[in-house]
Structure 1
Amino acid sequence: MTVAQNGVGQINVLPYYTVQNGNMTLISIANTDETNGKAVKVRFRGAQFSDDVFDFQVFLSPADVWTAAVTLDGSVARLATSDKSCTLPVSVNQPFVTARLLDANKAQGTREGYVEIINMGDITPGSALYTATKHVNGVAPCTTATLIGSGITPNDLSTAMTNPTTGLTSFATIINVAQSKAFTVPATALNQVGVTVPVRYSRQANLTIGTASYGSVAPAFAAAQTADSVFDTATGNVTMYEFDLPDLSTPYGTANAAAQLAELQTALAKASVVTEYATDDSILAATDVVLSQPTRRYYYTWTDTPNVAGGDTNKTLATVAGATGVYAGLDAATNKLQVGAPTFYDREEQKVVNASSIVISPNPQGTSTFTLTGEVSLVSINNGATPSGALGAALTVQDYTTIYADGLVRLSTTNLSNSSPLPVIGFTAVNVFNSGVGAAGTNYGQVLPLKW
């Protein structure tokens, strides 16, 4: 498993989506394969503990592009699309789902997170599935008999697919219309190189694993399908359904989920990241650094397993107790992991010598402890007691305040507990304000790729 430098892969991961503070997020997924269609799993995960908050399937025909918008609907995120490509369920114009969010998080846990996009299998010309999903005069037929059959449970389409190949590319645009700013972010693309990737189709159905088929096989829960221990009856004990597969750890040409996870860790691991920052008050500049960790989910340990007697009859909830491996030392109570101190420079090569002069706002005493919070950790620069000036984040953001307004920063992404580099993707969002445009002025959003 390697990161595709051309941005086209079998798997795409969008590092961040948000509907906080007036933002909406536009999603685009393109199939650059001009011959084969793709059966694609799309899963939105929350920023705090990467709980599944919305997932579905999209069937892309050759050279097809699927688009949607994620907006705020009351207290939760909602997906809206008028795209003509086929999906399961037939309509995905729905609010995000809070069933797997703890009560304390239900009101806000869907509003920020990241997105997994997985090619489950190629759809070859001439097959019934290809005919059912191939656009005709700009509209895909989405033939019910092929996709769903005669019942309410979708058909097992695995035999209609061939081995998934590369071809997916995606991006997200975080846009705030009222503040006239936008940030466009490409997905990280991953490819499995040197081996044949088997079809990894699982029906979009609420049938439990072990009693219904996973593709053409009917296995009980095993590490060969996922490394997410929340579904293990000995640990998290949350009920696992067919729609939970595949995930990023589902074997994608490797022997088992542990091997898949190890490959992802190697491909995405970074000891630190470097980015420029701008916080000059004269232009109201603000900088937020997004550090998304799409494999952290698989290192959790669990407590407070589903309490059926207490009302969790569907066995949907389990609480994170801590983590192992590269995430050993995670403080589950605060959702924080300690990392090394940042190194700040101004634009003239001056360096912050004493890390204690860099504060986690609004602490005036300084600190020698630096952490990353949540699955999607946001580090705001010099934004004070109200972190996140560029993106308006709320769930997992903290502010690093330094003496320099603009410059270069190296942020540690190494777990201090065991010196492990963390699997991180992301970007830097910089916003500046020009007061000379019109009567009210205007914002400009910039996106900087992380370097390491």
Structure 2
Amino acid sequence: MKRTSLTTAVIAGIAGVAGISNMASAVYLNNDGLGQVLIYPYYTVNGGNNTLLTVVNTTPQGKAVKVRFLEAYDSREVLDFNLYLSPQDVWTAAVVPVGAGAGVFTNDNSCTVPALPTSLATAQPFLTYAYDGTGDTAADGGPTGVSRTLEGYVELIEMGTVTNAAQDSLKAITHATSGSTAGIPADCSQVVNAWNGGYWDITSGGDPTTDMAATSGGLFGSGAIINVNQGTIAGYNADAIDQFYSDAFSHHTAPGSLSPNISSATSKVSYVFAPSPSSTIPTLITTSYSSGVDAVSSLFMADKIFNEYWTAGGTAANSEWVITFPTKRFYVDSASAAAGHLAPFDKLFSKGVSCAPIGIGIYDREERTTSGTIGFSPAKVQQGASLCYEAQVVTFNQPGIATGASAVLGSNLTANISPPAGANNGWAVIDLYGKSAANHVLPAAYTDGTVGASNVFRGLPVTGFWVANLVNGNVGGVLSNYSALFRHKLHRTCALGTTTSACS
């Protein structure tokens, strides 16, 4: 077996028993953490925070990877570049404040094209061209200033395996293991020049498939939100999508190209473990879609998010939930969405928002809950309880959020939940389906099959986490601040067509 992933082995075994012939072309969310695509649900440089990123190549092969930073309003790109990882390589970078916006630098030696700055003082600023109307894409109606880059999320997409077939590209990106150049690639300038009028540059007669073979996966990554002044750090694992591609080709593109992106999956069959509305028993659900982005969306579809919260009450605690919709732009951004392809969302992005109604339930640690309607307070731009951005922060018991940034992540794309009096700690559920049941489905019409007999996932494609800070300051001469981060727990539901029958 090429992969050591237990998940792959289990699914392959089930597929064999079930007689599924297209297992090799099925995209799935790898809970073991390895994949061809990595989604980092959030970065921020607000509130004194920086965000650190890592990606690890676990294979004995070189990798070409597209690195793309996306802002939080509408997932317009703020920076992308190509990263070339040598076998068993690790690449690290830091997202930091740059002027009124954000930027990135790395002191890692792995090759990037273009080459990135290597210090905080010279960090590459994130760019506004994709959303302010000065680039190739029309403005989207949201804010046009550089402050829009202060928070967002990241996607890394493998483009192919680097070889030495013609130009010794693998040799150029491989780090020396000994001598005075140990830890330094042999010649990063070679791959830079390959895109600058060289052997990969199409505009100069080059061919980006030179020294490139098919993708093979095996990447994992992590993010960490660190606040040096407060002495806190909270880390998370990137979501890993495996078998994103169903073909045996490379997908190597120039730095700055909008392709590949999260909609570029050539695997249009997805595998998801989920119960039907009439059963609590998870089933391996096989769905064939007409487009790759719908197959990827199905991996993240959930009708409910569960997690805990801690707030003040003797512990100086603050809790915030990051909620990110990693495929939303391909449904709500008029520059990216296919005609008539709005569901599972409600409205196209306009005037800086695309709001999706939600329901909220909240319980303290003694099972007590509030009576009546629970909603976000204050409302800000939301109409009732809604999630209006592609990446946003839900706060708990932060009543001043209407006029200021959130206490932990410094987010300005927020809504606040006010637990009942005395319920300083507990858990909450956000319902992503019930308040907009007609829209919050991945419709049967998107599948590649008979509509009445096609699988329909309910809710929204979502990822994210809960982060909590306990900031006690200086206690007995010791800085006594702490942080913790926990990924969301999700409930998935799938129906067959418009019925409550189990999905196939």
TM-score by length of 2: 0.72
Structure 2's unaligned 5+ residue stretches are 1-26, 118-122, 134-142, 177-181, 202-206, 270-287, 442-458, 491-504
- Give the whole-Å Cα distance in 1 for the aligned partners of 2:371 and 2:355: 24
Q: What is the number of equivalent residue pairs in this alignment?
A: 395
Contact 2:305 2:488 in 1 (8 A): yes
Task: Give the 3 Å change call, closer, same or farther, for CA 262–89 of structure 1 in structure 2.
Answer: same
Q: Which residue of 2 aligns with 1:315?
A: none
Instruction: Please list the CA deviations of residues 179-204 of structure 1 after superposition, one character each: whole Å capped at 9, or x if unmatched.
Output: 11111111000011794453111112
- Give the whole-Å Cα distance in 1 for the aligned partners of 2:263 and 2:195: 32
Task: Give the 3 Å change call, closer, same or farther, for CA 146–334 of structure 1 in structure 2.
Answer: closer
Q: Which residue of 2 aligns with 1:408?
A: 427
Residue 332 of structure 2 corresponds to residue 288 of structure 1: no
Q: Which residue of 2 aligns with 1:372?
A: 387
1:327 CA drift (Å): 1.1
Aligned residue identity for 2:261:
D
Task: Give the 3 Å change call, closer, same or farther, for CA 412–253 of structure 1 in structure 2.
Answer: same
Aligned residue identity for 2:70:
R
- Give the whole-Å Cα distance in 1 for the aligned partners of 2:197 and 2:103: 24
Q: Tell me the C-alpha RMSD between the 2 structures.
A: 2.9
Task: Give the 3 Å change call, closer, same or farther, for CA 332–10 of structure 1 in structure 2.
Answer: same
Q: Which residue of 1 aligns with 2:465?
A: 427
Aligned residue identity for 2:431:
S
Residue 101 of structure 2 corresponds to residue 76 of structure 1: yes
Residue pairs, 1:122-271, within 5 angstroms: 122-124=161-163, 128-136=168-176, 137-149=182-194, 151-152=196-197, 155=201, 156-192=207-243, 195-204=246-255, 243-254=257-268, 259-271=291-303
Aligned residue identity for 1:292:
T
Instruction: Please list the CA deviations of residues 312-367 of structure 1 after superposition, one character each: whole Å capped at 9, or x if unmatched.
Output: xxxxxx99x998121123562351423232110100111223224x442279xxx9
- Give the whole-Å Cα distance in 1 for the aligned partners of 2:341 and 2:399: 30
Residue 147 of structure 2 corresponds to residue 115 of structure 1: no
Residue 309 of structure 2 corresponds to residue 277 of structure 1: yes
- Give the whole-Å Cα distance in 2 for the aligned partners of 1:281 and 1:13: 35
1:125 CA drift (Å): 6.1
Contact 1:14 1:186 in 2 (8 A): yes
1:419 CA drift (Å): 3.4
Aligned residue identity for 1:3:
L
1:160 CA drift (Å): 1.2
TM-score by length of 1: 0.80
Aligned residue identity for 1:245:
S
- Give the whole-Å Cα distance in 2 for the aligned partners of 1:254 and 1:410: 31
Aligned residue identity for 2:410:
G
- Give the whole-Å Cα distance in 2 for the aligned partners of 1:84 and 1:286: 37
Aligned residue identity for 1:89:
P
- Give the whole-Å Cα distance in 2 for the aligned partners of 1:150 and 1:182: 38
Task: Give the 3 Å change call, closer, same or farther, for CA 75–258 of structure 1 in structure 2.
Answer: farther
- Give the whole-Å Cα distance in 2 for the aligned partners of 1:150 and 1:340: 46
Aligned residue identity for 2:229:
A
Task: Give the 3 Å change call, closer, same or farther, for CA 381–32 of structure 1 in structure 2.
Answer: same
Task: Give the 3 Å change call, closer, same or farther, for CA 160–296 of structure 1 in structure 2.
Answer: same
Task: Give the 3 Å change call, closer, same or farther, for CA 385–336 of structure 1 in structure 2.
Answer: farther
SS in structure 1 at match of 2:408: coil
SS in structure 1 at match of 2:291: helix
Contact 1:323 1:330 in 2 (8 A): no
Matching residue within 397, 408, 414 for 1:397: 414
1:301 CA drift (Å): 4.8
- Give the whole-Å Cα distance in 1 for the aligned partners of 2:249 and 2:106: 30
1:123 CA drift (Å): 1.7
1:74 CA drift (Å): 0.8
Residue 72 of structure 2 corresponds to residue 21 of structure 1: no
Task: Give the 3 Å change call, closer, same or farther, for CA 392–133 of structure 1 in structure 2.
Answer: same
Instruction: Please list the CA deviations of residues 247-281 of structure 1 after superposition, one character each: whole Å capped at 9, or x if unmatched.
Output: 11113344999521111111010111100100123
1:148 CA drift (Å): 2.0
Contact 2:333 2:348 in 1 (8 A): no
1:434 CA drift (Å): 3.1
Matching residue within 60, 83, 90 for 2:115: 90
Identity %: 29
- Give the whole-Å Cα distance in 2 for the aligned partners of 1:391 and 1:15: 13
Residue pairs, 1:39-78, within 5 angstroms: 39-78=64-103
Task: Give the 3 Å change call, closer, same or farther, for CA 71–265 of structure 1 in structure 2.
Answer: same
- Give the whole-Å Cα distance in 2 for the aligned partners of 1:389 and 1:2: 35
SS in structure 2 at match of 1:329: coil
Q: Which residue of 2 aligns with 1:311?
A: none
- Give the whole-Å Cα distance in 2 for the aligned partners of 1:400 and 1:146: 50
- Give the whole-Å Cα distance in 1 for the aligned partners of 2:224 and 2:195: 39
Structure 1's unaligned 5+ residue stretches are 206-242, 304-317
Contact 1:147 1:157 in 2 (8 A): no
Task: Give the 3 Å change call, closer, same or farther, for CA 106–194 of structure 1 in structure 2.
Answer: closer
Residue pairs, 1:325-404, within 5 angstroms: 325-330=343-348, 332-333=350-351, 335-356=353-374, 358-361=375-378, 369-386=384-401, 388-394=406-412, 396-403=413-420, 404=423
1:389 CA drift (Å): 1.9
